[in-house]
Chain A
């Protein structure tokens, strides 16, 4: 059964799209990640134009983060003040990012830039996660107790000006690092069609030293609003958000996530991280090969500005 996508201007199989949404939703429910970094490359593999894949995926992440953010808000796990600082940066980043997409599309380098960004980020995050999970698995099997980082350690971050007090996170730090972090993640969100949780969460824990209890809630809050603004910016700047495609992905994702969550609850944290790292590295490898291997067709037809 096929459906014609009004913005992508192509006919796709409904079940294929629902299946993709369901599969990625399953994984994101299982690992507690947004899944944008898997979905955007998959959309590209099935032939959705890069700009449409990125813009539409932003809309889908809005849906998947909305329910999570609401649940975290109910449990009072969101540091709104810190979230707001992140968000200011995030919206600036998303705005610059969508503008950059426009420029890159015209110059014909958008696809390559998206691929390279994916390879760098997925490669580094995947490798770090893989090493960490293997170490943990080894330690657990050797029966040694896990060493937790101590809070309250000082770093270069504490020397920066514009200090603000974030009561909920029990932090008194400069507003500059969260602002820059927000901008960076917003930029990635706009260019890669991801929520950016895989950068945001480690950065909040290790860089800002936020208490783990508010990390997930605050990052979901930031992701929700940044992807929402990215969706709007993409709609205005690039007309590249396909509402029908987004709707199908949301439906599939919502169903898949339910099954993923219950499977995820049965696995241990480090096992989950190992599996996730393996998937991240596989996606990274696939994109890297696309950049490095000699393509069968050297030519491509591109986006021509000002066509009638």
Chain B
């Protein structure tokens, strides 16, 4: 994401933007939605890459390392071609605007060289994982101190996905072995979470809190994220609608942190992972949301002054409007 637009703002431009925003806000906050549509020169979006087939061997292939190379794993078997999976998402760029209340993403795909006769045959299992931006999370635990509940213990984790959704054709433990789930970070029990110290460096096993306690914190992170609707698991939500075609609907709630997302689609047959395909999608702030958020982050002083001016104007405007007739 680039913030160049804001860092190159001239004073005059800031002033005119402030005036425009003041008006928009003072008049009525509802008016802000239409102003979103106000055309600003189109930003250059990061080019949307096509999804990619991820080579399965050697096993754990982290999404970051997955290069563009398509390795044709043509089997030696003479007759049956190996099955591979391809997939895409219904929306690759989700715009977060003032009216954003969450959205639904349809993930659809197909099994190449499918050997099943009908959608009901159940020969294949598909697991879809959508992962948000990895980031730091601090988990805190309260305990009673002199009659009051205070945060006393805490654990810091890095690389925790901001969002994690799993959709599958069946419960995960019926689809494949634990080893595979661990290797590919599939399922809440295997979401990546690196315990780090206060300096931000990963902790050695020796420096960590006792495993049982760490596990409690880990589970708490998952539980709280689930409560916020940010970690979602839906078994039986991937459905085959043809011999090779499947689809799943995954919902992104309104509180999903923006950023690039990775969708990983896995194809299994008889507990064996046959193929993996990755697709990217991006959640971006757009329009008014983007202007305000970047303004607040990049020019906090100007943003603060603008807010104060807006408040004074709103206060004075209210008193003039309502004082009519009384004085």
Residues in chain A within 8 A of chain B (CB atoms): 1-4, 6-7, 9-11, 14, 59-60, 62-67, 70-71, 108-109, 111-112, 116, 224, 228, 231-236, 239, 241, 243-244, 246-248, 250-251, 254, 257-258, 291-295, 297-304, 306-308
Q: How far is the CA of A49 from the CA of B26 in the complex (A)?
A: 24
Q: Are A304 and B289 in contact (CB under 8 A)?
A: no
Q: Are B308 and A236 in contact (CB under 8 A)?
A: no
Q: Are B100 and A292 in contact (CB under 8 A)?
A: no
Q: Are B308 and A302 in contact (CB under 8 A)?
A: no
Residues in chain B within 8 A of chain A (CB atoms): 21, 25-26, 28-30, 32-33, 96-102, 133-144, 147-151, 154, 156, 200, 216-217, 220-221, 223-225, 227, 254-255, 257, 285, 288-289, 292-293, 296-297, 300-301, 303-308, 310-312, 314-316, 318-319, 321-322
Contacts A67-B315, A251-B29 given; does A299 touch B310 at CB 8 Å = no
Nearest B residue to A110 via CB reads: B151
Q: Are B101 and A11 in contact (CB under 8 A)?
A: yes
Q: How far is the CA of A231 from the CA of B300 in the complex (A)?
A: 11
Contacts A14-B30, A71-B319, A243-B292 given; does A231 touch B139 at CB 8 Å = no
- Residue of B306, B308, B312 contacting most chain A CB atoms (<10 Å): B308
A-B contacts, 7 of them at CB < 8 A, read A7-B296, A11-B101, A70-B316, A228-B312, A247-B314, A299-B140, A300-B139
Chain B binding site: helix, strand, loop or mixed by DSSP?
Answer: helix
* Selected contact of B221 from candidates A64, A248, A291, A301, CB within 8 Å: A301
Q: Are A300 and B151 in contact (CB under 8 A)?
A: yes
Q: Are A59 and B307 in contact (CB under 8 A)?
A: yes
Q: Are A243 and B303 in contact (CB under 8 A)?
A: yes
Q: Are B315 and A241 in contact (CB under 8 A)?
A: no
Q: Are B225 and A308 in contact (CB under 8 A)?
A: no
Q: Are A65 and B223 in contact (CB under 8 A)?
A: no
Q: Are B289 and A292 in contact (CB under 8 A)?
A: no
- Residue of A3, A224, A258, A308 contacting most chain B CB atoms (<10 Å): A3
Contacts A3-B29, A6-B296 given; does A112 touch B148 at CB 8 Å = yes
Q: How far is the CA of A1 from the CA of B101 in the complex (A)?
A: 10
A234 proximity list for chain B (CB < 8 A): 304
Q: Are B322 and A62 in contact (CB under 8 A)?
A: no
B301 proximity list for chain A (CB < 8 A): 232, 235-236
Contacts A4-B289, A302-B154 given; does A247 touch B300 at CB 8 Å = no
Q: Are A11 and B102 in contact (CB under 8 A)?
A: yes
Q: How far is the CA of A300 from the CA of B220 in the complex (A)?
A: 8
A186 to chain B, nearest CB (A): 15
Q: Are B142 and A66 in contact (CB under 8 A)?
A: no
* Selected contact of A244 from candidates B98, B141, B319, CB within 8 Å: B98
A-B contacts besides A302-B151, A308-B136, 19 pairs, CB < 8 Å = A3-B33, A4-B98, A4-B99, A6-B288, A14-B30, A63-B314, A66-B311, A66-B316, A67-B316, A112-B150, A228-B311, A235-B301, A239-B296, A243-B21, A244-B29, A247-B29, A250-B311, A292-B147, A301-B139
